[in-house]
Structure 1
Amino acid sequence: MQLIWLRSDLRVRDNSALAAAMAAGPTVALYLLSPEQWRRHDAAPCKVDFWRRNLVELSAALARLNVPLLIRQADSWDAAPGVIAELCREQRIAAVWVNDEYGIDEQRRDQAVARHLDGQGVTFQRRLDQLLLQPGSVLTQSGSYFKVYSQFRKLCHQRLHRALPTLLSVPAAQTPLALAGDTVPAAVAGFTAPGETLRRLWPAGETAALERLASFADERIDHYHEARDIPAQPGTSQLSAYLAAGVLSPRQCLHAALQANQGEFDSGNQGIVTWINELLWREFYKHILVGYPRVSRHRAFRPETEAVPWRDAPDELAAWQEGRTGIPLIDAAMRQLHATGWMHNRLRMVVAMFLTKNLLIDWRAGERYFMRQLIDGDLAANNGGWQWSASTGTDAAPYFRLFNPVSQSRRFDPQGRFIRHWLPELAGLDDKAIHEPSAARGGLFDEPDYPRPLVDLRLSRERALAAFRQLPQNQARATS
């Protein structure tokens, strides 16, 4: 008997480990509920609910293949080896099949399970699934992991041109087993389910995910490079939650994009090329997790930036979290996050820079808060984005590059449509004043339902620049 241990790969189509397991023999599936571990990893309640809802859909899809889905409890991953070993003994499992995951805790968990199973003669079979290219196969000439995305992307293009990953079809149904699957629980203890409004924004299951991918590829991908920065428009794919949970594979996304672009990676339609590059950014940050494990340990990718004198400002952090900064674009973005479990990508950068530069608050506070809210929370992408914005990460924005949130608002939401949607208390302001209410009417604006700015943008920018300039490496550059 074969066992497919499902994690962030909640689909039957193009699932490397599932296809391999079913080719090897009669197969059962396993999903571990690990609420304590999820809390340690700051998993958002809406994300845990999304996993659970997708498990319901996956259970039905597996049943059509006559593969029973078994649900077991391992509150923390320390318990996973024992729980899986016991199941292997019960079902006389010969091999456990998994799709690789890349965080340091995930890798340690899998190593511990593999050692435990080896002791009872069960093999542990790993497959590439979350990524297009195996970590360690895309390296610099000196044999190290890339630190610069453009160089990484160039080599990825070369590799993918030579050998494009193929899509795996749904395995044929196996002979029914004398084993019933388990019922997916209606809730996970300790994680409050979101409301139906949010759930409707993110329908579960492969069919919904593939429909969303097809709609994007057919209707919006051609203009992605122009529309992706406009938060009031549906210009992005909104596939990140499905990729994070593995309801979609990156191979499926890449094939859809290439099909729409006559097979071209770096020429043809600019919107499609830009979106493929975003898929490769996702790939890049996963490779960084493997090559530089310190980012999984809440450490700065650039160790010298650990000396940044971050401020301890709990009241300002709370105002940022709650959308009370007095900067409309920031506050609107935070309200979008709370209501939908998602934030527009341009705004993720803007609000992250505001926290880390204008407020000079440690990026780790923002990274953790985002993970506790995001339905698409992914360690690699979230950490990579936060460290890029904070100028502590790989290929990061230079410390002297700060997005001005008011300028960003005027540029990417010129009519204030996004702001008006999320901050209805400002809807009565004109298209100029809505970006900076405190400057309206000669500075006499007084809206009791909306706060004045938390900081002066110019002065807080200078404070951030001064803090980064005092780092030894920046002082050395200034005197060289």
Structure 2
Amino acid sequence: MKKKLVWFRNDLRIHDNTALYHACQYSIDQVFALFMSTPKQWLNHSVSIKKISFIYQNLLYLQNELNNLNIPFYHLQSTDFKQSIYDLNFFCIKHKINYIFYNYQYEINEYNRDVFIKKYFLEQKIIVQGFHDNILIPTKFIYTKNNKPYKKFSSFKKKAIEILCNNIPKCFPTPIKRILLKYHLFNHTEFKKYKINFNINLFPPGEKAAQNRLEDFFNNKIHDYTIKRNFPFLNHTSILSPYLSIGIISLRYCLNILSKRYDNIFNITFLSSWLNEIIWREFYYHLLIGYPLLGKLQSVNSWEKNIIWDNNINYFHAWTQGKTGFPIIDASMRQLKDIGWIHNRLRMITSNFLVKNLLIDWRKGEKYFMSQLIDGDFALNNGGWQWASSIGSDATPYIRIFNPYRQSKKFDKSGHFIRQFIPELKYIPDAHIHNPHTWEDINKITLDYPKPIVDFHENRKKTLLVFKQAKYKFIFK
């Protein structure tokens, strides 16, 4: 009989969990489960309190699911990744573990930790098996002809769809119940300060809640998702990102459920926009794997280092607090601070505004988002910020600068979303809600809402010049 350990990370589920499935292949083997929290590492990575609290609630749910399988679930708290290796070793010695199973993480610190672990436990004569679980397509199958990762999304997407059309990865079944082991109570005392720091009605914990949310999306939203997805006040997206970020549900499961409803899902027009988002997620993960420098908050475009940022601390503070004087920006940032989640269109508008209108280093915004998001995911957050900043791998030849007034009128025409998060503008007429200071001037009153902190048109010219100079210096250095 072998003793096997499943090390849970950002894969807090029992269904379609690659590492868990492979550890449970033989019923006579004893299987243990472990989660290791690393508060110091979380702090260094700017993980939000809401996300930590969400993790905790899902660990309690996972504990019950594993108990039903007679798999004892343990928790260890380590300060950081380095310490976690030695704590893991002590656990393995204590329980006489022969095998360790886990699903890969792709961020640079996590990757380096796993490389060290394989060497370290080989010396301890413990076999370590890692699995690709958080991506749909292994990287070796989606390289360019030069055997390098794709940098352009359009090229990546074409290849990804070609692969997935022929073979959507199958889900791994839930393991069968184990031979009864001694019951172990999950130790959650270290998490007490993180209890319910998120809106539990918006983000109910547990694998079943995630599956129900997916079903609701497929039943009620996906048919007109392409038409309605960009309007934040409609609540017409799946809002699965918090669950995907810590692996409460897998992308394989999402695609398999969709494939049971429709044949040839990549050839159905009304499914294309949502599947496009899935492929963007895959693209950002493949970039992170293929270009480790992204994990160090660098860009694959070297000219980005020449950008001279203003980094005005007062502007940055106004942006974080939702007090820039641009209603769509401020409503979005207040929602982020309130619930730890904002619509993807709003992530693009607010990040583009910080970088292109305020000339603040994208890394500051990227870090702030991570510190607030309940669905904080390094690969996606980093990729999104680099895209919005026009310095990423898929950057366009021109500098994309969103006009916040136009974006506001286009995606929140009547100001429903704005009024929801900016009560100071509750009674402003629709015609003036996107630029309330025009109404303020007409009526000769003073609103309890700040005036715009910058002139959009003037700052747009400045940004174009700064980016042009940065590229020029790189070409002619």
TM range (shorter): over 0.9
CA distance in 2, matches of 1:473, 1:173: 64
1:408 deviates by 0.4
Q: How does 1:225-374 map to 2 (within 5 A)?
A: 225-265=226-266, 267-270=267-270, 272-374=271-373
TM-score, length basis structure 1: 0.95
What residue identity is the alignment partner of 2:228? Answer: A
- In the alignment, structure 1 segments of 5+ residues that lack a partner are none
Task: Look up the SS of the partner of 1:32 in the other structure.
Answer: strand
1:80–1:109 contact (8 Å) kept in structure 2: no
What's 1:216 paired with? 217
Task: Look up the SS of the partner of 1:147 in the other structure.
Answer: coil
- Is 1:42–2:23 an aligned residue pair? no
Task: Look up the SS of the partner of 2:335 in the other structure.
Answer: helix
**Distance change in 2, residues 1:403/1:260 (3 Å):** farther
What's 1:19 paired with? 21
What residue identity is the alignment partner of 2:235? Answer: P
What residue identity is the alignment partner of 1:371? Answer: M
Count of equivalent residues: 472
Task: Look up the SS of the partner of 2:101 in the other structure.
Answer: strand
1:420 deviates by 0.9
**Distance change in 2, residues 1:463/1:261 (3 Å):** farther
* CA deviation profile, 1:130-154 (whole Å, cap 9, x unmatched): 0101123210111110000111111
What's 2:208 paired with? 207
CA distance in 2, matches of 1:364, 1:325: 19
Q: How does 1:388-467 map to 2 (within 5 A)?
A: 388-440=387-439, 442=441, 446-467=445-466
Match of 1:177 among 165, 177, 181: 181
TM-score, length basis structure 2: 0.96
1:473 deviates by 4.5
1:46–1:193 contact (8 Å) kept in structure 2: no
1:186 deviates by 6.7
CA distance in 1, matches of 2:444, 2:394: 41
CA distance in 1, matches of 2:79, 2:385: 29
- Is 1:135–2:134 an aligned residue pair? no
Comparing 163-172 with 356-365, greater Cα deviation is found at 163-172
What's 1:104 paired with? 108
1:322 deviates by 0.3
CA distance in 1, matches of 2:282, 2:364: 24
* CA deviation profile, 1:60-118 (whole Å, cap 9, x unmatched): 00000000001112110001221111111111111100011101111111112222211
CA distance in 2, matches of 1:38, 1:343: 21
What's 2:76 paired with? 72
CA distance in 1, matches of 2:143, 2:41: 32
2:49–2:197 contact (8 Å) kept in structure 1: no
Task: Look up the SS of the partner of 1:9 in the other structure.
Answer: coil
What residue identity is the alignment partner of 1:378? Answer: D
1:256 deviates by 2.6
1:217–1:260 contact (8 Å) kept in structure 2: no
1:439 deviates by 2.3
What's 1:61 paired with? 65
1:234 deviates by 1.1
CA distance in 1, matches of 2:472, 2:176: 59
* CA deviation profile, 1:288-331 (whole Å, cap 9, x unmatched): 11111111001123121111111120011000000000000000
1:471 deviates by 2.1
Aligned-residue CA RMSD (Å):
1.7
- Is 1:163–2:164 an aligned residue pair? no
* CA deviation profile, 1:235-270 (whole Å, cap 9, x unmatched): 1110000000100001011123333432321x2242
- In the alignment, structure 2 segments of 5+ residues that lack a partner are none
1:47 deviates by 0.1
CA distance in 2, matches of 1:15, 1:83: 24
1:200 deviates by 2.0
What residue identity is the alignment partner of 2:380? Answer: A
Task: Look up the SS of the partner of 1:435 in the other structure.
Answer: coil
Identity %: 36
CA distance in 2, matches of 1:184, 1:263: 45
- Is 1:125–2:129 an aligned residue pair? yes
CA distance in 2, matches of 1:12, 1:38: 24
